[in-house]
Structure 1
Amino acid sequence: MSETIQSRRSFFKGTMAAAVAAAVPASAEAQKKGAAPSSAKKPNIILYLADQFRADFVGANGRNASTRTPNIDALASRGKNFTHAVTNQPVCAPARSVLLTSRYATETGVWHNGLVLDKSLPTLASELRKAGYTSNLIGKWHLALGNPKAGGDPGPVKAEDRGGFLDLWEGANALEHTTHPYEGTIWDQNNQPISFKDQYRVDFLTDRAERFLRQKQEKPFFLFISQLEPHQQNDMQRPVAPKGAAARFANSTAPEDLRALPGTWQDQLPDYYGCIEAIDSSVGRIRRILEEENLADNTIFVFFSDHGCHFMTRNQEYKRSTHNSSIRVPLIIDGPGFHGTQQIPELVGLVDLAPTLMEAAGIPAPSTWKGHSFLPLVNDFEARQKWPNQQLIQISESMTGRAIRTPDWTYCVADLSGSTKEPAATTYHEYQFYDQRADPHELVNLAGRKEYRAKADELREQLKKLLAAAGETEPEIVPAKLYP
C-alpha cells in the first residue's frame, strides 16, 4: 500500500475513533458544537435528492442572482453547507450506486445506466435497518432492471432489487419513463400502481412524503425522497417547469460557464429555473411538516443532487463530463451533529456521505466502504487541515475517462478510441486540464501545455493512486502532445 493511501487511512481511523468516543449523551453544548447524538435516541435521516441540480443554483452559494431558493437557503443558514461537494460519477444510476454503497461505480455493478446494483454489497439502507431503523423510499430508484411494462419502460422493482429499502416503497426504477410532469405511475411495496394526474410531479411525491411523515413512527426512520426535477423529461428532451413558472424566468441569469458555449441553455434555462423553484417549495414543505410533527430536532436532513447539468455545452447531453457544471453538487445538512451555520469548503464526494451519516447516527460503517466520514470537518479546524482534499471522478457513457479533482486543479484522462463498452481502459490519454483558481468556468484547456507539464505529471501520479485505492488496475496514461 502506498504511503499516501496508508497515511490517509490512518488519519481517518484516528479522527473517526475520536469522534465516536465523543458521542456521549448529547447536551445542548455538544449539539451546538456539532457532536454526534446520543446512541440512546437515534436520529431520523432524510435524504432529499433533486436530480441534476447545479450547485450554483442554490442561492446560499452566492453565484446566481436569479435563483429563488429561500427554503434551501434557510436550511444552509441553520446547518452545514458543503460548498465544494462533488459526485464521483456524474450520471444518474452510477452516482446513486456510489451514494448508497460508499463504493466506486466500477465496484457496485452500476458503472453506467441500466445495470443492476450488486446485491452482495451492504447499503446505507440495509445497514440502518440492521441498527433498528426502517428504510423507506419515495420516487426514483434507477438501480434495477425492474419488470418491463408494455413498450419496455422499466417500472415496478422487485423487493430483492431495492437495495435494502424494505419498509415503505413508493417508487419507479426510472421515473422519467413511467411519468410525465403532470401524470404518471409509481408502485408500492407490493408493486401495486399509485397513479397521479393533473398534479405537478414534485408536488405529488411531496404529498407521498407528507403521508409518511404524518404517520406515527415506532422506530427511527431513514427516508429517501428521490425527485426527478430539475432533470429533463427524457422523451421531451427538456426540463419542464410547473405551468406558468418558466415565464417568470424568461430573462434570468445565464451562468458564466454556459454563456460562451453553444448548447440548449438558451431555450431551457427558464424551465430549469422553474423546476428549481418547485424543488425549493417542496423542501420548505417537508421542513414545515417535520416541525409540526415534532420531528425536526431529531432528524438529519440532507439536501443534495446526484450530478449537475451543463445543457449540452460540453458533450452531446447534460452531464457525463468532469466540468464543475457536471460534477459539482449541492450538499447541505442540518440536524443532530450538523447544527449551526457553517460553510465547509473542503472537497467531499458522494462516496463519503453514507459513512458520514452512519457516524452521525453512532453506528459503525462496514469496513468494505471506500468513502470516509466528513463529520470531523464540522467545527474541527485540525481535521480540516488534514483532510486529503482530492476526489476521484469516473466517467462512462459519453467516454471512458478518469479524473482527479483538487481544490486547484481538474486533471482528466480519456480512452481516445471512443469505446464505452467496458468499465475501464488499460490506456488513457491526457484530455482535459483546468486551473480552478484562474479559470473556475473551465474555458481554457491546459492539457498538453509545456509550462504545466510538471503539475500534470504530479496529478497523473496522484490519479493512479486513487485508481488503485478504488480497486482499479493501474493504467498507462499517455501525456498530451498537442493542445487546443
Structure 2
Amino acid sequence: MKPNVIVFFTDQQRADTTGAGGNPCGLTPNFDRMAFTGTYASTAVTPQPVCGPARAVLQTGKYATCTGNYRNAIPLGRDQRTMAHYFHDAGYDTAYIGKWHLASGRHEVQKEERGGYDWWLGANALEATSRPYDTLVYDNENRPVKLPGHRIDALTDAAVRYIDGHQDQPFFLFLSFLEPHFQNCFDDFSAPHSGAPINPLYMPPDLGALGGTSWQHLGGYYGMVKRLDEAFGRIRDALESLHMTEDTILLFTSDHGCHFKTRNAEYKRSCHESSVRIPMAFYGPGFTGGGNVAEIVSLIDVAPTLLDACGIPVPEDMQGHSLMPLLGGKKAPWPKEALIQISEAEVGRAIRTKRWKYSVQATDRDPVLDQGSDVYTEMYLYDLEHDPYELHNLIHSRAHQGVCLALGEKLVKLMKETGEGEAVILPQEKEKIGQLAVFDGEELL
C-alpha cells in the first residue's frame, strides 16, 4: 500500500525554536516527540534564505539558479516538474493548502502556475490576501474562500477536512503556513490572541549579543511557533483518530530562519545560521525510529527523500539526495558540505561544513537583477565548533588563510557542479588577530 505524505511547512522558523533544537521554553512538544521517535535532521539548512527561491528548491529538488527562481516574484517555470507531478504520476491525489509564492500575481494562482497540484486552496502571497484573523484563500476555480479562526487554525482546519475526505486514495498534501513570518504590512510578529505573546525567557545568544528587533518581536514570534506546534499536534491527532498514522509520512520543516535585523536591514537573506538553519523531522513508514541524522541535510534533499520513501524513482536532474540510506544510523556516501545561494540583500554564496561557514559576495552586482557572478570577494568565515552563534568573523585572520583557501576551492567547485559558471574569489587582506592558530588538516573539517 502506498503511504500518504503530508508536508507541514512553516515560514521563517529558526531551528532553535524547537526543544530538539535547544530551546528550553517548551514551545514544540509535538515536533520534539516526532524528532525523538521518528527521524530528526539535526543540522538542516536552507540553500536559499528567502521565501520564493526556497520554495522552488523544495518543490523541484533543484537549486534556485537552476530553475531561475533566484529571488522572489519570479514564477516557477511551467516546464519545471515538482513533487506534485511525480506523486500524481504515481497514482496520488495531490493537494496544496496555504501560501504558494511561486506564481506571477499576489492573490489567486492560475491553474497552470500551481506546480501540478490537483486540489487547491491557497494564495500566492498569503500575507497580501489575509491578516492573522482574516484568512482569504482561493479554491480550484479561483473563487475566494474566507476561513474562520486564526490563520494557523483556519488552514489546519482545512487540512483536517481534506484528510478526512481522502481516506481511500493515497494523497500528497502540502500544508504551507505564513507563520511565524512577520505580517509585512505591519512589520510585526502577532501571536494569536488566545495564545498571547510568550515572555522570551530564553534569548538565543546571537540575538542577545546583537539585539536587532528581538526584544520587540521575539515574544510574538514564540507565540506563533507554539500555535504552529499545536496545529501540528492536531494533524497528528486527526491521523490517529482515522487510523492513518502508520500509513502516513509526515514532514515538518521551514523555508528559512530569522535573524531579527541583526545581520542586515531585515530578517533573513544572509549566510548566518540564524537565516539558514531550519527545523526538520520526519515520521511514518520508513522514518519511524530512524534516529538522528547528523549529516548536513539541505532543503534540496527533501524532494528526492520523499519520492524515494514512497518507491517513486528519483529523477536524475534532481540535485539533492535521498536521506533513506542514512536512516537508523547507517553509513552511506553523503556530501560533507552544503551550498547556500543568497539574493535580494546581496549576490552571495556560502559553503557550510560541519565546522566552518565561509561566505563570499559579488560586491559589484545588483542583488535583485543579477542571479550570479564570475567574481566574488570573501566576506565571512566562522568557526562553528567554537563560535556556533557566529559572533566572531575570522575572514581577516592570517591564521585562517589556509582555511579560506581550502573552502574557497570547495565553494567554486560546488558552484560549478550545481550548474553555475566558473568563478574567481578575491581574498581579503589577512592580519594577525590575537593568539589564534589552525592546525594542519583542520581546514578540511
> Residue type of the partner of 1:169?
W
Distance 2:111 2:390 in 1: 43
User: Matched residue of 1:211: which SS?
Assistant: helix
Instruction: Please show how residues 51-62 of structure 1 align to structure 2 within 5 Å.
Output: 51-61=11-21
- Aligned equivalents of 2:254 and 2:289: distance in 1? 22
Contact 2:383 2:390 in 1 (8 A): yes
- Residue 313 of structure 2 is aligned to residue 354 of structure 1: no
| Whole-Å separation in 1 of the counterparts to 2:291 and 2:203 | 27
Deviation at 1:416, TM superposition (A): 1.8
- Asked if structure 1 preserves the Cα contact closer than 8 Å seen for 2:135 and 2:154, the reply is no
**Shift of residue 120 of structure 1?**
1.1
Q: Structure 1: state its 5+ residue gaps.
A: 1-40, 147-153
Q: How does 1:245-256 map to 2 (within 5 A)?
A: 245-247=195-197, 249-256=198-205
- Deviation, structure 1 residue 418: 5.6
Are 1:245 and 1:271, in contact at CA under 8 Å, matched by a contact in 2?
no
Paired residue type of 2:243: N
Aligned to 2:108: 156
The one-letter code matched in structure 2 to 1:48 is: F
The one of 44, 54, 57 equivalent to 1:95 is 54
Q: Distance in 1 between matches of 2:430 and 2:194?
A: 49
The answer on whether the counterparts of 1:348 and 1:389 sit within 8 Å (CA) in structure 2 is: no
User: Is structure 2 residue 428 aligned with structure 1 residue 472?
Assistant: no
Does 2:124 match 1:173? yes
For residues 357 and 341 of structure 1, what CA distance do their matches in structure 2 show? 14
AA of the residue aligned to 2:355: D
User: Residue 326 of structure 1 aligns to which amino acid in structure 2?
Assistant: S
CA deviation string 1:171-199 (max 9, x = no partner): 000101110000031000100111135x2
1:75 aligned counterpart, secondary structure: helix
Aligned pair partner of 1:260 in 209, 228, 237? 209
Partner SS state of residue 457, structure 1: helix
Per-residue deviation, residues 303-322 of structure 1 (Å, max 9, x unmatched):
00000001000011111111
For 1:344 and 1:216, the matched residues in 2 are separated by: 32
Equivalent of 1:406 in 339, 353, 359? 353
State the SS of the aligned residue for 2:331. helix
SS at match of 1:94: helix
> Is 1:221 matched with 2:175?
no
Q: Which runs of 4+ in 1 moved over 6 A?
A: none
Which residue of the partner structure matches residue 187 of structure 1? Answer: 138
Cα offset for 1:417? 2.7
> Paired residue for 1:445?
393
Give the distance between the partners of 1:91 and 1:318, measured in 2 at CA. Answer: 9
Q: How far apart in 2 are the matches of 1:86 and 1:45?
A: 21
Whole-angstrom CA distance in 2 between matches of 1:181 and 1:437: 39
1:244 Cα deviation after fit? 4.9
What does residue 226 of structure 2 align with? 277
Partner of 1:481: 429
Do structure 1's residue 107 and structure 2's residue 66 form an aligned pair?
Answer: yes
Alignment-derived partner of residue 269 in structure 2? 320
Matches within 5 A, 1:18-417: 41-61=1-21, 63-146=22-105, 154-166=106-118, 168-197=119-148, 199-247=149-197, 249-340=198-289, 342-383=291-332, 386-417=333-364
Matching residue of 1:21: none
Shift, 1:206, TM fit:
0.5
Q: 1:326 to 1:251 in 2, by over 3 A?
A: closer
Shift of 1:341: 5.8
Q: Say which of 380, 388, 411 aligns to 1:432.
A: 380
Letter matched to residue 471 of structure 1: G
Task: Describe the superposition over 1:248-282 as per-residue Cα deviations: whole angstroms up to 9, x where unpaired.
Answer: x2242110011111311011010011001100100
> In terms of mean alpha carbon deviation, does 364-373 or 281-290 score higher?
364-373
Counterpart contact for 1:182–1:196, Cα < 8 Å: no
* Aligned-pair identity (%): 45
Cα drift, residue 296 of structure 1: 0.9
What is the CA-CA distance between 1:339 and the residue it aligns to?
A: 0.9
Query: 1:433 is aligned with what amino acid?
Result: L
- Shift in Å at residue 374 of structure 1? 1.4
Deviation at 1:81, TM superposition (A): 0.7
Q: Report what 2:441 is aligned to.
A: none
Cα distance in structure 2, aligned partners of 1:115 and 1:316: 22
SS of the residue corresponding to residue 425 of structure 2 reads strand
Q: Distance in 1 between matches of 2:200 and 2:145?
A: 37
Q: What TM-score does the superposition give when structure 2 sets the normalisation length?
A: 0.95
Secondary structure in 1 aligned to 2:160?
helix
Q: Give the whole-Å Cα distance in 1 for the aligned partners of 2:404 and 2:143.
A: 54
Deviation at 1:482, TM superposition (A): 5.5
The alignment covers a number of residue pairs equal to: 431
